[in-house]
Amino acid sequence: MSTLTLGRVKHADGTARPRRNVDYVRVGLWLALAVTMLIWAMPLIFVIFTSLKSEAAIFSTSSFSLPTSAEWSNYAEALETGNLFTAGGNSLLIAAIKVPLGLLFSAAAAFGLSRIRFKHSKLVLGAFALGSMVPIQVALGPLFKIILDLGLLNSPVGVILPYIGFGLPIQIFILHGFFSAIPKEIDESVRVDGGGNWRLFWQIILPLSKPALAALFILDFVSTWNEYAIALVILQDQGAQTIPLAIQGFQSQFTSSYGPLNAFTIMSILPVMIVYLLFQRYFVEGMFSGAVKG
């Protein structure tokens, strides 16, 4: 397939590098990539295969063999026993509140740090940046105590608050970079028109930063959806569980029902996969805008 296209390219541009060995290198490279990709896809493929096999088929056929008939009962069973709807509802509720609210906090702080001049603003930014690097697990014990004292154990609010705190640093860092790149002359013109900081923030800076905000929104949704450690400590009742806790709960409860277990895994990662496929662009952009500028 690719060899054909490469061959065509070779004939098409007789000027560039028509040396034959270049093509072999390219074909070799492509094959190496294809093999690596297959290896990379294997865990997912293997889990999907298993989720569609009956117990008998799992025990008797090779892991690599295709499922002969789709065993959807695995999915039904996983749904029935796995607390998936409750956990999914909890995860959605938490993400729906945490993500926009956290992003608003981050954007406001990044604005204050990048467009308003004051002494030691760099120090404040550095203090925020530091938070993105410290492991959450350092704070688990004390967090548990705070949430316990607030009476918020097993409540969505009990995880939303720490999630907002721990989500701020990286977002402030990225948005600060983004806001700083917007020309300062705009601020002057807004102020000449008699507008204050709020107007600058709401009507100029935020609309101009839509791409970065969208990217961060998506990335933050995914990391909120996936978070395990804080949820593990705060949400101890089954009714309060989020998806990652449900996965682990299902796995420890039904250790050897491999079909439903893998069906459960598939269903639990499906929302994130769909979000990724729909918003692929943002994942890359989010990382580009934040991470790498010389």
Number of residues lying near another protein (CB under 8 A) = 116
Q: Which of residues 207-236 bind another protein (CB under 8 A)?
A: 222, 225-226, 228-229, 232-233
Q: Considering the rule CB under 8 A, would residue 288 count as an interface residue with another protein? A: yes
Residue 38 structure tokens:
């297959």
Closest CA to 218 of 266, 163, 292, 281: 281
Residue 198 · residue 159 · CB < 8 Å? no
Among 36, 68, 203, 238, binds another protein (CB under 8 A): 36
CA distance 206 to 12: 47
Among 79, 92, 96, 108, binds another protein (CB under 8 A): 108
Q: How many CA atoms lie within 13 A of 121 on its CB side?
A: 14
Q: Which of residues 166-195 bind another protein (CB under 8 A)?
A: 166, 168-169, 172-174, 176-178, 180, 191
Burial 224-256 (b: 16+ CB within 10 A, else e): bbebeebbebbbeeeebbbbbbbbebbeeebee
Q: Considering the rule CB under 8 A, would residue 141 count as an interface residue with another protein? A: yes
* Closer CB to another protein, 36 or 238, in the complex: 36
Q: Considering the rule CB under 8 A, would residue 196 count as an interface residue with another protein? A: yes
* Closer CB to another protein, 217 or 283, in the complex: 283
Among 148, 203, 238, 253, binds another protein (CB under 8 A): 148
Q: Which of residues 43-72 bind another protein (CB under 8 A)?
A: 43-44, 46-47, 50, 58-59, 62-64
Closest CA to 22 of 39, 10, 14, 38: 10
Among 79, 96, 97, 136, binds another protein (CB under 8 A): 136
| CB 91 to another protein: min, Å | 10
Total number of residues shown for the chain: 294
* Closer CB to another protein, 41 or 76, in the complex: 41
**Helix, strand, or coil (residue 16):** coil
Closest CA to 79 of 269, 270, 274, 260: 260
